[in-house]
């Protein structure tokens, strides 16, 4: 089912709200008008009742009933058409009935303490009848005065017709205005939609014009532009990552192919084949390590990599990492000094990932330290954290490059890094391992005087945590 446009839905809501509002307003006005008109109608019998009561109080009880009726007839005849008046005694016998009220045949009212109004239908019309108890000279009477509500009903009918005739056009005009306003309000959204539709992977640098309206549309546009900034940055990273990965893989593949082709061009000695296979093996190992790092980073980017944190001995893990890097240090004649306390240093971490972090730092220190140099690996505990420091006497890092060394495929000296066997991914992997453990990596380096990498690892943590982007 196709949904309606927002403008049409806003118009329908506008129509519904106005329809309910007008209906409620019309009913309220009609009720108020009815109450007001009936109050005006009721005032007339109430005023006449006071006149009848004053007349009866002046009445001399020694005068005959006929004289009383004649006096009431004269009083009733003061108004054009006469009053709708009838009076009965305590026994319900008529004392007086005006000529104008007889045709309605209103029965005598039961005597009540308080005056009361009632509406009765007689002769295709309606009357408002006021019944009141009067006590004069010890005698009890019940006076009933009536007023026609025909004029009031006509007024109410005209008002009701006015509402019925005027509300629909007003409602239609209001809905038309609402639709026009909704279209004006949605026009900037349509502009944003058109601009967003024009953005593609080849035009991620385009941005929407930011309106200076200080409203929701400005915030929406700013949010959309910020999203485009993130998309452009992510797309650029992916493109750069793909290009760098292709370049890094192309080099060892080309060397393997070239070595094999040159070796197979003519028969060679066994030692020549051995040297060629050794070079091929070295490149294959380097390519395997690169592919492993690329797969690890791909798992990180997809959010599927989860570290399981468990209690362990940080010192024992650091010693294992030193043992793994010792053959490389021996081959380069680099001395590895260990300042790791023999006591257990408890922590919570993923053993495999944390050992990999330590190996990356120690391996980098050994690779970039000339023969005869020194690498010092230390472990200290303070403030509920384990601090691991890897210091070397190597070539150091230029100050301008320190903020960039954790970027993927970044190398301070590409030629020298390639000779050392690095692809510029180790420190990126080290950083996401540290982030996953809520640890921090701090670098201090001076070009030509060595570097120090310090990892500050909290000694508690959750049981498992997904790894974010490296």
In a domain, residue 373? The reply is yes
In a domain, residue 316? The reply is yes
Confidence of residue 62 (pLDDT cuts 50, 70, 90): low
pLDDT tens-digit series, residues 232-280? 877 777 777 777 677 667 767 887 888 888 888 888 888 888 888 888 8
Q: List the domain range (segments joined by +) for residue 242.
A: 216-299
Range from 182-186, 241-245, 453-457 that averages highest in pLDDT: 453-457
- Judgement on whether residues 12 and 137 belong to the same structural domain of the protein: yes
- Judgement on whether residues 28 and 135 belong to the same structural domain of the protein: yes
**Strands 335-339 and 125-136, sheet pairing:** unpaired
- Judgement on whether residues 267 and 386 belong to the same structural domain of the protein: no
- Judgement on whether residues 294 and 357 belong to the same structural domain of the protein: no
Res 78: pLDDT: 53
Total number of domains constituting the chain: 3
In a domain, residue 342? The reply is yes
For residue 395, report the phi and psi dihedrals to the nearest 5 degrees.
Answer: -75, -15
Which of residues 141, 156, 171 is at a domain's end?
Answer: 156
- Judgement on whether residues 220 and 83 belong to the same structural domain of the protein: no
CATH number of the domain bearing residue 133: 3.30.450
- Judgement on whether residues 332 and 431 belong to the same structural domain of the protein: yes
- Judgement on whether residues 312 and 283 belong to the same structural domain of the protein: no
Q: Print the SS3 string covering the chain.
A: CCCCCHHHHHHHHHHHHHHHHHHHHHHHHHHHHHHHHHHHHHHHHHHHHHHHHHHHHCCCCCCCHHHHHHHHHHHHCCCCCCCEEEEEECCCCEEEECHHHHCCCCCCCCCCCCCEEEEEEECCEEEEEEEEEEEECCEEEEEEEEEECHHHHHHHHHHHHHHHHHHHHHHHHHHHHHHHHHHHHHHHHHHHHHHHHHCCCCCCCCCCCCCCCCCHHHHHHHHHHHHHHHHHHHHHHHHHHHHHHHHHHHHHHHHHHHHHHHHHCCCCCHHHHHHHHHHHHHHHHHHHHHHHHHHHHHHHHHCCCEEECEEEEHHHHHHHHHHHHHHHHHHHCCEEEEECCCCCCEEEECHHHHHHHHHHHHHHHHHCCCCCCEEEEEEEEECCEEEEEEEECCCCCCHHHHHHCCCCCCCCCHHHHHHHCCCCCHHHHHHHHHHHCCCEEEEEEECCCEEEEEEEEECCCCCEEECCCC
Res 454: pLDDT: 94
Which of residues 110, 126, 156 is at a domain's end?
Answer: 156
pLDDT tens-digit series, residues 334-388? 999 999 998 888 888 888 889 989 998 999 899 899 999 999 999 998 778 889 9
- Judgement on whether residues 313 and 456 belong to the same structural domain of the protein: yes
Over pLDDT 90: what percentage of the chain? Answer: 12
- Judgement on whether residues 283 and 330 belong to the same structural domain of the protein: no
Note whether 76 and 83 are within 8 A (CB). yes
In a domain, residue 201? The reply is no
In terms of Cα–Cα distance, which of 323, 426, 440 is closest to 389? 440
Least confident of 50-64, 207-221, 223-237, 301-315: 50-64
- Judgement on whether residues 432 and 349 belong to the same structural domain of the protein: yes
Res 67: pLDDT: 67
Distance linking the first and last C-alpha atoms of the chain: 43
CA 252 to chain centre: 50
**Strands 464-466 and 306-308, sheet pairing:** antiparallel
In a domain, residue 166? The reply is no
pLDDT tens-digit series, residues 390-443? 999 998 888 888 888 888 777 665 544 455 555 577 888 888 888 888 899 999
- Judgement on whether residues 39 and 112 belong to the same structural domain of the protein: yes
CATH number of the domain bearing residue 375: 3.30.565.10
Residue with tokens 């403008």: 7
Which of residues 249, 282, 299 is at a domain's end?
Answer: 299
pLDDT tens-digit series, residues 96-151? 888 777 777 787 777 667 788 888 877 667 888 888 888 877 778 888 888 888 88
In a domain, residue 236? The reply is yes
Rounded to 5°, angle at Cα 295 from 255 and 455: 105
In a domain, residue 168? The reply is no
CA 274 to chain centre: 66
- How far is 130 from 114, CA to CA, in rounded Å? 10
**This prediction's pTM:** 0.52
- Judgement on whether residues 257 and 382 belong to the same structural domain of the protein: no
CATH number of the domain bearing residue 265: 1.10.287.130
- How far is 213 from 189, CA to CA, in rounded Å? 14
């Amino acid at each position: 089912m196709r949904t309606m446009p927002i403008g049409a839905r806003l118009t329908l809501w506008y129509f519904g709200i106005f329809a309910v509002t007008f209906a409620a307003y019309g009913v309220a006005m009609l009720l108020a008008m009815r109450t007001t008109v009936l109050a005006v109608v009721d005032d007339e019998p109430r005023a006449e009742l006071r006149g009848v009561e004053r007349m009866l109080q002046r009445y001399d009880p020694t005068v005959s009933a006929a004289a009383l009726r004649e006096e009431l007839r004269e009083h009733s005849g003061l108004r054009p058409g006469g009053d709708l008046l009838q009076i009965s005694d305590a026994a319900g016998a008529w004392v007086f009935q005006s000529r104008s009220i007889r045709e309605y045949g209103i029965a005598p009212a039961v005597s009540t303490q308080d005056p009361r109004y009632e509406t009765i239908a007689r002769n295709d019309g309606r009357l408002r009848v006021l019944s009141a108890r009067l006590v004069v000279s010890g005698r009890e009477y019940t006076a009933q005065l009536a007023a026609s509500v025909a004029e009031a009903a006509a007024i109410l009918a005209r008002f009701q017709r006015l509402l019925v005739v005027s509300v629909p056009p007003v409602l239609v005009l209001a809905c038309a205005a609402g639709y026009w306003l909704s279209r004006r309000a949605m026009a900037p959204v349509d502009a944003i939609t058109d601009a967003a539709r024009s953005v593609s992977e080849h035009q991620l640098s385009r941005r929407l014009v930011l309106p200076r309206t200080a409203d929701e549309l400005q915030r929406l546009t700013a949010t959309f532009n910020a999203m485009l900034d993130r998309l452009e940055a992510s797309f650029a990273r992916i493109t750069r990552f793909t290009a760098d990965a292709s370049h890094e893989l192309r080099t060892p593949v080309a060397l393997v192919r070239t070595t094999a082709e040159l070796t197979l061009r003519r028969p060679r000695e066994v030692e020549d084949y051995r040297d060629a296979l050794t070079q091929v093996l070295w490149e294959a190992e380097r390519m395997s390590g690169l592919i492993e790092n690329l797969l690890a980073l791909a798992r990180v980017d997809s959010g599927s990599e989860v570290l399981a944190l468990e209690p362990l001995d940080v010192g024992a893990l650091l010693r294992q990492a030193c043992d793994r890097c010792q053959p490389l240090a021996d081959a380069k004649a680099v001395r590895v000094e260990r300042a790791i306390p023999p006591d257990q240093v408890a922590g919570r971490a993923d053993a495999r990932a944390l050992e990999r972090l330590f190996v990356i730092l120690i391996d980098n220190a050994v690779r970039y330290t000339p023969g005869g140099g020194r690498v010092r690996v230390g472990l200290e505990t303070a403030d509920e954290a384990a601090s691991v420091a890897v210091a070397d006497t190597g070539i150091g890092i230029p100050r301008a490059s320190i903020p960039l060394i954790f970027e993927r495929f970044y190398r301070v000296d590409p030629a020298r890094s390639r000779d050392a066997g690095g692809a510029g991914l180790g420190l990126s992997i080290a950083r996401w391992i540290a982030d996953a453990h809520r640890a921090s990596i701090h670098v201090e380096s001076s070009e030509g005087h060595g570097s120090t990498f310090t990892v500050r690892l909290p000694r508690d943590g959750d049981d498992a945590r997904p790894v974010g982007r490296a």
